[in-house]
Structures are given as C-alpha cells and as structure tokens.
Amino acid sequence: MKQAPIEYLSELVETQAQGEAAIQSLIAKTMEQSGCAVEFYDYFPNQVPVKGEFSTDEPSNGHKRRVLIATAKGDPTLPSLLLFAHPDSETVKNVEKWNSDPFAPVSNNGKLFGWGVADDLAGCACAVEAIKVTLDRKKVALGDIIFASTPSKSYARGVASILHRGLTADASLYLHPAESGKGMGEIKAVASGQLEFSISVAGLAPDTTEPGHTAFSHLGVNPIDKAIKIIDALYQLNAVRNSRIRHEKIHKEVGRSTNLHISNIVSNDEHRLSRLNETCTFGGAISFPPGEDLSQVKEEIENTVKKVSENDDWLNANRPNISWLSGVTGAEVPESSLFYQIVSSATKSITGKMPYVNPMHTSSDIRNPIVEANIPCVGLGCLGGNLSQNNKVDEWIDIEDFSLMVKVTSEIIERWCSGEQKEG
C-alpha cells in the first residue's frame, strides 16, 4: 500500500528520536527505492571555504557532520534542479511542557505535531515525496533532479559544503515551512544580509577605598556613559543609512530597507548600584539588503566607533574593542527571472492563488546557492508554527498546506527540468 506524504513525515518525526543519522538513513533508503543514486560524505563546518559569510562560533563548527545527496539522473541537455532541506533540529529541551510526546507525531485539528516537524523535517519529507511523485508519473524527459539533505543548525554550512565540493545545478529550491504564518501563499526570493557584533568599552573606578563610589563618581569614568555615546552614534548611522539605502520590496514591507539595533548591554559582574564598573559590553545586529557588501557595512560601523573615539579624550586613549561575531551576505532572485516565474506559476496552478514575495527572511538559506555558486534559489514551505527555535512547544505544520507543498514542488520539478521556457 502506498504511503501518503504526511505518513512519511510522521515516520521521520518518530525516527528522529534515534538521532540525525537515523533520519539520513531513512531518507537514503527511500530515495534508493525511488531509483535515485545515493551518496553520503562527511565534512567539518569550520573547514568549508564560504564566501561572504563568517562565524566565530568555532566550538559548534568543529564537529564532523554528514550530508546526504540523492540524484535522479536525467537528460544532460535539460535543466537540472537542486532541492535541499535540513534534517537537524534544535537541541531537545522542555519536552515536559509539550501536550504530547514530541517524538510520537499527533494529528489534531488539521495539524501534525512533532519535534522538528516544521524545522525542517517537513522540508525533507516534501523533497522525498515530490521527487517520488514526479518520477512515478514521468510524462516527459527531465534533467537531473538532486536532493541534498544538509545540516544547517549552528552554522553547520551543509549547503555551502556541497557547493564547494563541486555539486552544481541550473536552479535550486529550498524547502522549509514558512515562519511568517503565510505558508504556501509566499515565496522566499529575497534574503537580507546580517552582521552581529559586540563592542567592549573600558571605564575607570574612582581612586577611593570607600565601598561606595557615588560621591566620588565624577572622579572616575563610567563605561556605561561612554557606551551610550557610541550607541547614540550607531543609531544616527542607522538613520543615515535608511535615508540612503532603499530596497523596494523590503521598504514596502516594513518602511525601511536596513536596520540596526542594540539588544544586549552588560557592565561587569558588580551588582552594587553605588559602585562604578570598569567595563561595559554591548552587542547588537545590523541587517542590510541584497546588493550591499558585508565588508563595507562592517567598515561603516568601525568608522562610526572610530569617529566617536577620536572626539572623546578617554575613548581616544582607551579605544573600544569591536568583535564581529557572525555575518552573512544577502541575496535575491528577481521576479522577472524564468525560474521565479515557473515557481510562482506552479504555486498558483496548485493552490489557486498567486504567491507573493516575502522579503523579510533575513539570513535565509536561499542565499547559499546564490552567493556561493551563482545558482538562482528560492524557498517555499507549508504553514507551520510554535517552532522550538523560538522557545515554543507543540511545534506543528498544517496538514493540508503540506499536501499542497508536495504537489507544488513536484510541479516545479516537472516544469523546470523539462525545459519549460514560459510561464504556465
């Protein structure tokens, strides 16, 4: 008896209790049964020579990871398609707060609940089932269809690893349920870049043996006061950038095209409010639209901090230290491109509605094929919610929307890989 796509997704959720390797093995077995050639290879994330991206999170990047690649070989004269999704989920925690066993998928009120079901086992199941459907009903000659099950969490860089290993395709599709609440009504075709940073500022306690500094504080240097000067300058930079930089889709969505915020401020471990601490460290992030260079954005922040320091005697003598924690470059696929047109048309054909571009997926993995290998890439996915990565419980996907996701993906494969040259 044929297994329905939602049943296969349920099987992946159950298998996840045995770990990521078990998920990959199940996918490999299913792909082989569908006639695909399957290979595994191991890699170290911190040895992947990525472009326009970096992370100082070396501990998590130093562990060996495994990628699975399944290929349905086709006519080499026809367009090829790379589909990818990630089999790894968030670290398991707070399971006692779930209303059901997270590894025993439960269907209720049109939703399927389970650990990692929306992040990103639904993407893996969709790729497997869509390829299976396409090959079963094959009507015309198709180019190569490739599915890569690639680790993604904690800067695992699975997609980048396969691209730098030499895998290529004429287009790419990232399968992942939409976090926006729009489900199959949207397509990810724009991904802003992002930089995360931390700035440490030195201060000076007043020269006194008194346990309280309040009466003497004017004789010291409060690092919080100096940090505020820098933060003010960074927010002024944010305003200037927003008057200068414009990306129509992002601007239309939220009223600006780039943004900077400070999200964390810490001043030593001293908790007595009558004392001055000797350091203040604050951190934040800046998003920037496709087309902006990551190194130039870094330079703007560095120059802003430098200018504040040069105009302050204390900061000039005790320069703040900037630590760049992570960064990715933005990317996009134009709506006018043939690949976007086919994805959009296939989505409308199956769902009955024309999808729109959601441009607010900062750092989305659609950037990887574009930035690393100049392969056009868009993303789509069913409705999902309560993602564990957002510290929620009872993660779910919409069953009907997942069914549409599989059908749309199969339609995209058939249209693109058959060499369709116009909107259907």
Per-residue pLDDT of 152-176, as tens digits, reads 988 899 999 999 999 999 999 999 9
Are 202 and 217 within 8 A, CB to CB? no
Q: Is residue 163 assigned to a domain?
A: yes
For residue 423, the model assigns a pLDDT of: 42
Shared domain check, 66 and 17: yes
CATH number at residue 170: 3.40.630.10
Let me know if residue 33 belongs to a domain. Answer: yes
288: nearest Cα among 251, 252, 329, 243: 329
Q: The domain containing residue 289 runs over which residues?
A: 193-328
Same domain, 165 and 198: no
Amino acid, single-letter form, for residue 128? V
| 48 part of a folded domain | yes
Instruction: Give domain status of residue 307, yes or no.
Output: yes
Query: pLDDT tens-digit profile of 106-149?
Result: 999 999 999 999 999 999 999 999 999 999 988 789 999 999 99
Let me know the angle formed at the C-alpha of 234 by 233 and 238, rounded to the nearest 5 degrees. Answer: 115
Tokens 């998928």 belong to residue: 105
Structural domain ending residue among the three candidates 328, 357, 390: 328
The mean pLDDT value for 368-389 works out to 95
Distance separating the N- and C-terminal Cα atoms of the chain = 33
Is residue 422, in this structure, part of any structural domain at all? no
Same-domain pairing of 412 and 343: yes
112 in the same domain as 97: yes
267/342 same-domain check: no
The token pair at 396 is: 């779910």
Q: Are residues 210 and 110 in the same domain?
A: no
| Percent of the chain clearing pLDDT 90 (strictly above) | 84
- pLDDT over 70 at 58, yes or no: no
At residue 406, does pLDDT exceed 50? Answer: yes
Answer yes or no: are the C-beta atoms of 388 and 113 closer than 8 Å: no
- Other C-beta atoms closer than 10 Å to the C-beta of 392 total 14
Q: Are 324 and 337 in a shared domain? A: no
Which of 328, 345, 361 represents a domain boundary (last residue)? Answer: 328
**Helices 294-310, 223-244: inter-axial angle, 10-degree rounding:** 130
Looking at 313, 328, 343, which one is the last position of a domain? 328
CATH number reported for the structural domain that contains residue 255 in this entry: 3.30.70.360
Same domain, 118 and 170: yes
- Which residues, in sequence order, are bridge partners of residue 265? 282
Q: In what order do the strands lie in the sheet with 384-385?
A: 106-108, 111-113, 396-398, 384-385
Model pTM score: 0.91
Residues 134 and 124 in one domain: yes
Q: Which residue has the tokens 């204390």?
A: 314
Domain count, the chain: 2
Looking at the structure, tell me whether residues 298 and 369 fall in a common domain. no
Q: Give pLDDT, residue 268.
A: 76
Find out whether 49 and 140 touch, Cβ atoms under 8 Å: no
> Which residue, 290, 300, 248, 260, is CA-closest to 377?
290
408, HSE (Cβ side, Cα atoms, 13 Å): 33
Gyration radius of the chain over CA positions: 25
The CA distance from 61 to 63, in Å, is 6
- SS3 category, 322: strand
Mean pLDDT of 302-330: 97
Residue 380 near residue 343 (C-beta atoms within 8 A): yes
At residue 204, the 3 state secondary structure works out as strand
Whether residues 323 and 339 fall in one domain: no
Is 218 exposed, middle or buried, given 0-12, 13-18 or 19+ CB atoms closer than 10 A? exposed
Task: Report residue 127 as tokens.
Answer: 């790729």
- The pairing of beta strand 356-357 with beta strand 37-43: unpaired
Does residue 378 share a domain with residue 281?
no
pLDDT at residue 159, rounded to an integer? 95
